[in-house]
């Protein structure tokens, strides 16, 4: 559910509800309501959340489970290094 996604992302960024609320210019109660699936954010806020966490709105809405890394500005050598790390991690997970 949406609330689970928000909470998981928030915790992965080592943020508490107050910190996330401050970053998004909403109240702690709003974040709590999202996480408890009491309310859903507006479309504008959904976009802001997706940009903050660098995930797609489809990911937040559970329409797509893929996650993305922003790699704009990295050199080809840096990209190759990141790709190798990802391959190493996924190979070890098998």
Query: What is the domain range of residue 34?
Result: 1-94
Task: Please say whether the beta carbons of 61 and 45 come within 8 A.
Answer: no
pLDDT digits over 35-59, tens only? 999 999 999 999 999 999 988 899 8
Q: CA nearest 6: which of 60, 57, 66, 67?
A: 60
CATH number of the structural domain spanning residue 73: 1.10.260.40
Cα separation, 49 vs 10, in Å, equals: 10
Above 90 in pLDDT, residue 86?
Answer: no
Number of domains in the chain: 1
């Amino acid at each position: 559910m949406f609330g689970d996604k928000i909470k998981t992302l928030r915790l992965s960024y080592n943020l508490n509800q107050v910190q996330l609320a401050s970053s998004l210019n909403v109240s702690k109660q709003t974040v709590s309501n999202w996480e408890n699936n009491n309310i859903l954010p507006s479309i504008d806020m959904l976009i802001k959340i997706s940009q903050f966490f660098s995930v797609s709105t489809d990911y937040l809405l559970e329409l797509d489970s893929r996650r993305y890394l922003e790699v704009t500005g990295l050199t080809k050598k840096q990209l190759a290094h990141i790709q190798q790390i990802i391959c190493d991690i996924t190979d070890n997970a098998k």
